[in-house]
A and B are shown apart, each in its own frame.
Chain A
């Protein structure tokens, strides 16, 4: 792999002069349950042309034990939440007396491939919708139920369930056509420095992935593995909750989860991972 040689060459010079800490992504293969073969390290797509030499899932930036946890559903604590959502799938809520299954039947069939293409343009609503927005649209319009809080455990578990049936399929979100305006807005945000530390997403996840930021191993910030079960807070974390945490870490006032800014950012960041496998729910630290 090209990047490996480049970094090894750099390491000699770097160690002498600046003493920069480099920690490489680990070369390994992810196969879940001995069945689902994941693409976690691949050629760049057009989206990141000239920006990233290769696209690498966050899985490669985590430790051996953490990586192993994701390779078996029994060991993956994220699957506990998926099971909870499986129950909610069949539970009628709202005045219409419908459950998810009333319309969508078997989640493994009806939702296969859905995670891979979201965020996605919704023609009727004339807006870009994330999976969370779509779940809430279903709840309010079809089930006549209260919408779920954007980053609530119930919502994130449902997204994890929908994601779990697409595992192994390549992320393939559209960047042109009706979504292009939102995509450009997301790209703008990605490269905008925020907060007292004046950091953009790109400063860490494009310029410095593979390096350590204090005790953290910087990844490319790919979101193909979301929702993510994090060992540090022992729960599933949604994309927007993670964005919020990142922006907060730059010491800025953050956007709200579900805000148009984060929807745009999610679309752009998702497109940077086009070609990686859907991994959610993944395990990270």
Chain B
């Protein structure tokens, strides 16, 4: 069970219609690969975020399958076209079943 998991998002609050905006996301997570062993030689079980999605007004912007080789605190930066005012919804899916969410509204300038 991952502790201290906190999603963070940086997206503009305003954009003009049709503008491509830069979105940055980061989630604090240990991303335990399942390949490491503890001091007694036992395998430390895998515990990662395995999927990340971003939706805009219900439409998928990115849908990422994440694998164990991704480092601690996964960070994504991507561009999204904003056709209208609305909400970006970000979702992270943890191996342990937890789902972390964040929303960010964008108004038309």
Q: Which residues of A contact B (CB under 8 A)?
A: 74-75, 77, 80, 83-84, 234
Contact = CB atoms under 8 A, between A and B. Distances in A.
Given A83-B6, A84-B4, A75 B24 contact: yes
Q: Is the interface of B mostly helix, strand, loop or mixed?
A: strand
Interface residues of B, number: 11
Closest 8 pairs (CB-CB, A-B):
A74-B10, A234-B72, A80-B28, A74-B24, A77-B73, A84-B4, A80-B73, A74-B26
A183 B38 CA distance: 42
Interface in B1-49: 4, 6, 8, 10, 24, 26, 28
Contacts of A234: 71-73
Interface of B: 4, 6, 8, 10, 24, 26, 28, 71-73, 75
Contacts, number: 16
Contacts of A74: 8, 10, 24, 26
For chain A, what secondary structure do more than half of its interface residues adopt (helix, strand, loop), or is it mixed? loop
A83 B28 CA distance: 11
Contacts of B24: 74-75
Contacts of A80: 6, 26, 28, 73
Contacts of B71: 234
Nearest to B26: A74
A77 B28 CA distance: 9
B62 to A, nearest CB: 18
16 contacts: A74-B8, A74-B10, A74-B24, A74-B26, A75-B24, A75-B75, A77-B73, A80-B6, A80-B26, A80-B28, A80-B73, A83-B6, A84-B4, A234-B71, A234-B72, A234-B73
A55 B109 CA distance: 46
Contacts of B26: 74, 80
Query: Which of A74, A83, A84 has the most CB atoms of chain B within a 10 A radius of its CB?
Result: A74
A96 B58 CA distance: 50
Given A80-B73, A234-B72, 14 more contacts: A74-B8, A74-B10, A74-B24, A74-B26, A75-B24, A75-B75, A77-B73, A80-B6, A80-B26, A80-B28, A83-B6, A84-B4, A234-B71, A234-B73
